């Protein structure tokens, strides 16, 4: 049965006028209700040196106390610490994750400081990409850990950006929404602050760092966003302690020379930061992360793996087939490598065997040689022994013979003397 899908009418969409109340104006409410029952995720990354006030600012922003111990300055490298919290305000549940850069700026050699940060951001994107690529996936209850906003804490030197700041921001600007803020702004005087801000902004522009642009296309927020953008980077002061000012308690920092009120717009830009980050643009930050930064990451990652979109008239599921081809190629390579390794192994074994055989042969030879030498030596010794024995026996004979002779001679001698004596002693001996 032939199917003719007629008149999709995509080009000219007719506008219809309704003759009564239909009721789909409740759609945004339906959508919002769904989202509130599921809850929201928001992930903030705080990049800044140790002790610059990241934790305090987070406490001040969200009006609560996030438990954390201050970090030491002895970290060997930059480490990212992430903590998740569940906040609830009226019927909105927010799953807030705050990621801290521990040890940033503490090392002597800061060349690689940005790397753990970039790796962390990429890891979150990768996790989402993997979930998205699964066959059986559950994206609607996936806990999104991608960083939606990066607060970059600039030290209040009053001069310009440090080179570490420039390098780090440049590496991060295509991966995350960067909102630069000047920390501990109560150490800068007002006139210096203005110069400092413009210096920072011009440096960012001249180095091509793309910071987050507050959206100005929607009329309801365009105005407030435009006015706020002028004050970038926000000079903030954080404090969780309350000081009595007038007749009410408000968050402030008390000095001998005065009190810096956190929520006083003349004193610092904290209120502006809170407006921009939470009350006006939270949803836009999330959307930008998903539609811009994540898509860029995904595109780069897939292209890096060798996939490309084919031309429109080409076969379908090119990704699928390319993937298959790549997979087979990879498998083939693996096999080849395995073969190679196996062959090399076999060769090595053979070599070793030959070597060992040689060594064995040498040993045998040596052994034979030694044996022979030993035999010869033994023979020589035997000969010598024989000679010696002969000599000994000769000597014994001679000795025996000599003794006999001697004893004979002695006997003869003694006889002779006796004869002589007798002769002497005979009476006959006349004396003449």
Partner 1 sequence: MEGELVQPAPEETPRDANPANVGLELFGYVGIEAVLDQMRIKTMKTGFEFNLMVVGQSGLGKSTMVNTLFKSKVSRKPTGPGYEERIPKTVQLQSITHVIEEKGVKMKLTVTDTPGFGDQINNENCWDPIIKYINEQYEKYLREEILISRKRKIPDTRVHSCVYFVPPTGHWLRPLDLEFMRRLSKIVNMVPVIAKADTLTLEERAEFKKRVRGLGRESVYPQEDFDDNSDDRILNNKIRDKIPFAVVGADKEHQVNGKRILGRKTKWGIIEVENPAHCEFPLLRDLLIRSHLQDLKDITHNVHYESYRMQRLNESNRLALSPINGLLGKDEVESDL
Within residues 31-50, the interface with partner 1 by CB under 8 A covers: 31-32, 34-37, 40
Query: Residue 365's Cα: distance from chain center in Å?
Result: 57
Residue 179 and residue 289 in contact, taking contact as beta carbons nearer than 8 Å:
no
The residue from 46, 51, 108, 127 that contacts partner 1 (CB under 8 A) is: 127
The residue from 20, 246, 256, 427 that contacts partner 1 (CB under 8 A) is: 20
Residue 58 and residue 85 in contact, taking contact as beta carbons nearer than 8 Å:
no
Closest residue by Cα to residue 262 from 227, 278, 294, 238: 238
For 291, the token pair is 């539609």
Shortest spacing between CB 204 and partner 1, in angstroms: 26
Shortest spacing between CB 198 and partner 1, in angstroms: 29
**DSSP per-residue letters across 183-245:** SSGGGS-HHHHHHHHHHHHHHHHHTT--PPPPP-SSHHHHHHHHHHHTTPSEE------EEEE
How many of the chain's residues bind partner 1 (CB under 8 A)?
108
| 92 binds partner 1, rule: CB under 8 A | yes
| 247 binds partner 1, rule: CB under 8 A | no
Query: Which 184-213 positions form the footprint of partner 1 (CB under 8 A)?
Result: none
- Cα–Cα distance list, 350 to 340, 346, 359 (Å): 15, 6, 14
| 125 binds partner 1, rule: CB under 8 A | no
Which range in 29-37, 185-193, 225-233, 405-413 contacts partner 1 by CB under 8 A?
Answer: 29-37
Shortest spacing between CB 122 and partner 1, in angstroms: 9
Q: Which is nearer to partner 1, 5 or 230 (CB)?
A: 5
Q: Which one-letter DSSP state was computed for residue 25?
A: G
For 125, the token pair is 């994107």
For 58, the token pair is 């987070």
- DSSP strand pairing (40-47 vs 149-154): parallel
Residue 178 and residue 211 in contact, taking contact as beta carbons nearer than 8 Å:
yes
| 126 binds partner 1, rule: CB under 8 A | yes
Residue 87 and residue 117 in contact, taking contact as beta carbons nearer than 8 Å:
no
Q: Which is nearer to partner 1, 259 or 319 (CB)?
A: 319
What x-and-dash track marks residues 66-85 binding partner 1 by CB under 8 A? xx-----------xxxxxxx
For 162, the token pair is 């440090």
Shortest spacing between CB 189 and partner 1, in angstroms: 30
The residue from 73, 112, 143, 350 that contacts partner 1 (CB under 8 A) is: 143
CA distance 289 to 39: 18
The residue from 13, 108, 230, 430 that contacts partner 1 (CB under 8 A) is: 13
| 311 binds partner 1, rule: CB under 8 A | no
Query: Which 258-297 positions form the footprint of partner 1 (CB under 8 A)?
Result: 274-275, 278-284, 287, 291, 295
| 229 binds partner 1, rule: CB under 8 A | no
Crossing angle (nearest 10°) for helices 114-133 and 295-304 = 80
CA distance 66 to 72: 18
| 339 binds partner 1, rule: CB under 8 A | no
Which range in 201-209, 313-321, 345-353, 360-368 contacts partner 1 by CB under 8 A?
Answer: 313-321
Q: Which is nearer to partner 1, 160 or 323 (CB)?
A: 323
Shortest spacing between CB 171 and partner 1, in angstroms: 14
């Amino acid at each position: 049965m032939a199917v003719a899908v007629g008149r999709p009418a995509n080009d000219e969409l007719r506008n219809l006028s309704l003759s009564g109340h239909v009721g789909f104006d409740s759609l945004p409410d339906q959508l919002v209700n769904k989202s509130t029952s599921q809850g929201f995720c928001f992930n903030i990354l705080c990049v800044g040196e140790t002790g610059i006030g990241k934790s305090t600012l987070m406490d001040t922003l969200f009006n609560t106390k996030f438990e954390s111990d201050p970090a030491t300055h002895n970290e060997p490298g930059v480490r990212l610490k992430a903590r998740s919290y569940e906040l609830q305000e009226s019927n909105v549940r927010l799953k807030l994750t705050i990621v801290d850069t521990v040890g940033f700026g503490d090392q002597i050699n800061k060349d690689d400081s940005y790397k753990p940060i970039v790796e962390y951001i990429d890891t979150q994107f990768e996790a989402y990409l993997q979930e998205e690529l699964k066959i059986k996936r559950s994206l609607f209850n996936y806990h999104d850990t991608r960083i939606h906003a990066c607060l970059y804490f600039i030290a209040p030197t009053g001069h310009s950006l440090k080179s570490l700041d420039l390098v780090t921001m440049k590496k991060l600007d295509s991966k995350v929404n960067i909102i630069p803020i000047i920390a501990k702004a109560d150490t800068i005087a007002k006139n210096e602050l203005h110069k400092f801000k413009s210096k920072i902004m011009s440096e960012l522009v001249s180095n091509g760092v793309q910071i987050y642009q507050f959206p100005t296309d929607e009329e309801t927020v365009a105005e407030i966003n435009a006015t706020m953008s002028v004050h970038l980077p926000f000079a903030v002061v954080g404090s969780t302690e309350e000081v009595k000012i007038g007749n009410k308690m408000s968050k402030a920092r008390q000095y001998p020379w005065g009190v810096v009120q956190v929520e006083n717009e003349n004193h610092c830009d904290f209120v502006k930061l809170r407006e921009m980050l939470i009350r006006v643009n939270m949803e836009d930050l999330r959307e930008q992360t998903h539609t811009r930064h994540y898509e860029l990451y995904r595109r780069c990652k897939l292209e890096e793996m060798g996939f490309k979109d084919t031309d429109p008239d080409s076969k379908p599921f090119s990704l699928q087939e390319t993937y298959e081809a790549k997979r087979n190629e990879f498998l083939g390579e693996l096999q080849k490598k395995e073969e190679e390794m196996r062959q090399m192994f076999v060769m090595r074994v053979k070599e070793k065997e030959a070597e060992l055989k040689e060594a064995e042969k040498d040993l045998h030879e040596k052994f034979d040689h030694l044996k022979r030498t030993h035999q010869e030596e033994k023979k020589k010794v035997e000969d010598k022994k024989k000679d010696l024995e002969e000599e000994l026996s000769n000597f014994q004979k001679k000795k025996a013979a000599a003794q006999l002779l001697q004893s004979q001679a002695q006997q003869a001698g003694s006889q002779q003397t006796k004869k002589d004596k007798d002769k002497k002693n005979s009476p006959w001996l006349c004396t003449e």
